[in-house]
Amino acid sequence: MSNIHSIISTAKQTIELESKAILNLSHLVNDNFAEAVNLIYNSKGRVIITGIGKSAIIATKIVATLNSTGTPSVFMHAADAIHGDLGLILKDDVVICISKSGNTPEIKVLVPLIMNAGNKMIAITGNKDSFLGLQADYVLNAFVEKEACPNNLAPTTSTTAQLVLGDALAVCLLELRGFSSKDFAKYHPGGALGKKLYLRVQDISSVNQKPKVSLNTSIKEVIVEITEKMLGVTAVVENKKIVGIITDGDLRRMLSKVDDFSTLTAKDIMSENPKRIDVNAMAVDAMEVLETYGISQILVEDKGNYAGVVHVHDLIREGII
């Protein structure tokens, strides 16, 4: 049991230490940061982000974030750069170099090569007085007092600080570009997140069958319609308008109450004023209605006319739920 308490205590200390370091970053953001953001925003080229070791791993994440929010970016490993990959950097590109110490051998070789090529360089470093900090055009201060590692060796707090500064850069650029949810969906068309931003009700309902009966349809025909269309529901429609809904549950409740349903029709067992949604609504809105009311299907309308059904299974299949 003491082992469990020790683990929990260490985890909490790590989280608290890193959170304090992140909070301190807000006091280190200055004009250099704003000027670096404007440099990238006004650049005609891409952002090349480089680093070595754990900083290289952080660089790849920042590249991914920038690319997904409208700022074209490329990762270049610092060790590979001095062995041929410098050709990645084009004339108008802005280079971001990430290094905790700013004094690693690879950085000392790489930085002059970048500067000689005439590219603007932004440093993300914990030591603004380092070789990198003094050579860079702009310095984003990622200083942390200590690593979460008890030996103050393994990059932990410092890499978290680098990551947070990268996120801050991306969000500032996103806002400057007026990057909208529609833009985000354009860059994420294949994922569930993107689908929540662009998939509409019509995209789902149009591929489903459209079960429907009239007010005077017999119960036998209602059962056949629900069974054949395989959505567990049918709309009750008059003059193209939805006047009711009958679900599997309605049929079961009917059978538990009556022995002979031969004279019953759809209007005798339907639920009036069912939940419905417009074809142009977002699929995620349909999901919210289903979750809010605890239902499995929702009827779809197009300009007030019955247009189909969306089932919860459709939303699960599309990754919306």
What is the predicted pLDDT for the residue at 315? 84
- 119-164 pLDDT, tens digit each: 999 999 999 999 999 999 999 999 998 898 888 878 899 999 999 9
- Please give the order of strands across the beta sheet that includes 121-125: 73-77, 47-51, 94-99, 121-125, 138-141
Residues 124 and 96: beta-carbon distance below 8 Å: yes
* Average pLDDT of the residues in 299-309: 94
Rounded-to-integer distance, Cα 29 and Cα 21, Å = 13
User: Which run of H or of E encompasses 210?
Assistant: none
Per-residue pLDDT at 221 exceeds 70: yes
List Cα–Cα distances, 276 to 237, 245, 261, 302, in angstroms. Answer: 13, 10, 28, 10
Residues 31 and 135: beta-carbon distance below 8 Å: no
Residues 205 and 308: beta-carbon distance below 8 Å: yes
What is the predicted pLDDT for the residue at 65? 92
Per-residue pLDDT at 235 exceeds 60: yes
Rounded-to-integer distance, Cα 135 and Cα 117, Å = 14
Per-residue pLDDT at 305 exceeds 90: yes
Question: Encoding tokens for residue 188?
Answer: 């994420």
What is the predicted pLDDT for the residue at 195? 63
pTM of the complete model beyond 0.75: no
Contacts of 260-267 with CB under 8 Å at 24 or more apart are 261/219, 262/218, 262/219, 262/220, 264/218, 264/219, 265/215, 265/216, 265/217, 265/218, 265/219, 266/213, 266/214, 266/215, 266/216, 266/217, 266/218, 266/219, 266/222, 266/236, 267/215, 267/216, 267/236
Where do we find the tokens 């170099």?
97
Map out the domains of the chain with their CATH numbers: 2-179 (3.40.50.10490), 198-317 (3.10.580.10)
- 72-119 pLDDT, tens digit each: 999 999 988 888 788 889 999 999 999 999 999 999 999 999 999 999
- Stronger pLDDT, 285 or 36, i.e. the higher one: 36
